[in-house]
Amino acid sequence: MSTLLWVVYPYLAVAVLVGGLIWRYRYDKFGWTTRSSQLYESAVLRWGSPMFHFGVLMVLVGHIGGLLIPKSWTEAVGVTEHAYHLMAVFVGTVAGFCTLIGMAILIARRRLTGPVFAATTRNDKAMYVVLAAVIVLGLFATLRANVAGDGYDYRETISPWFRSLFYLSPDPEIMAGVPFAFQIHIIAAFALFAFWPFTRLVHAFSAPVGYLTRPYVVYRSRDARAGLRPARPGWEGPPR
């Protein structure tokens, strides 16, 4: 079971993520979109969307820093474990609650706004459930370990295991002593990765790179040149 959860399952989820993105890009380019509902309602969206995306961005930066950067590197530049822990817990908790509150606003908007709810698919509902589960489990694990408990240094267990996946030499035994709440959070996160290519979340892998090389859009004014009719205000009728 340990090998299945911490070796086979992560690689399988990443394989589905990469293969699904390639398949989606090749065979469903027109479906590679957020299916924006801003035309239906924008007042609530203006509050929920920035809060959600800001929180997600901060959570992503925190996870990249905590999982990919070894503990020895931060200590080598003068960041003590205590300072890093306080910063990570504070910023991570704030970012997590921003993400959760923003998503709650977006879900309420989607449910209470008729046209937006009519455009919501079963796939969207399943995506919201999985995404909410990952966020709630992450917040629960963090608060339980650092508020209700004595703290937990995941950079000594989860981070080395996560990096070992990239080395193609994962050690499932490292995860044996990880608290159960963190284990469930990790399992849910990899489930989200596997589900990602088949949802509207694919827009996270999009960037307007084509805007850098596309030709300029030329606008010309109506100059008073020979052969052109003189411009007249719109309220004036045609000459008689």
CATH at 188:
1.20.950.20
Whether 67 maps to a domain, the answer reads: yes
Give the residue carrying structure tokens 């509207």: 200
Residues in the chain predicted with pLDDT less than 50, given as ranges, are: none
Please calculate the CA angle 28-33-34 and round it to the nearest 5 degrees: 145
Q: What angle do CA 95, 100, 102 make, to 5 degrees?
A: 95
- Does residue 185 lie in a domain region? yes
**Is residue 63 marked as binding?**
yes
Domain membership of residue 197 (yes or no) is yes
Q: Which residues contact 200 (CB under 8 A, 6 or more apart)?
A: 33, 34, 35, 123, 124, 127
Give pLDDT tens digits for 35-62. 888 888 889 999 999 999 999 999 999 8
Residue 159 has a pLDDT of: 92
In a domain, 137, yes or no: yes
Please check if 185 is assigned to a binding site: yes
Number of folded domains in the chain? 1
Domain extent, residue 135, equals: 39-202
For residue 119, give the nearest of 204, 33, 28, 36 by alpha carbon: 36
Q: What was the pLDDT predicted at 232?
A: 61
227 lies in a domain? no
Residue 80 belongs to a domain: yes
**70 conformational bin, left if phi > 0, alpha if psi -120 to 50, beta if neither:** beta
Tell whether 203 is in a known binding site.
yes
Q: What is the CA radius of gyration of the chain?
A: 25
Within-domain flag for 123: yes
Q: Is residue 177 part of a domain?
A: yes
Is residue 82 annotated as involved in ligand binding?
no
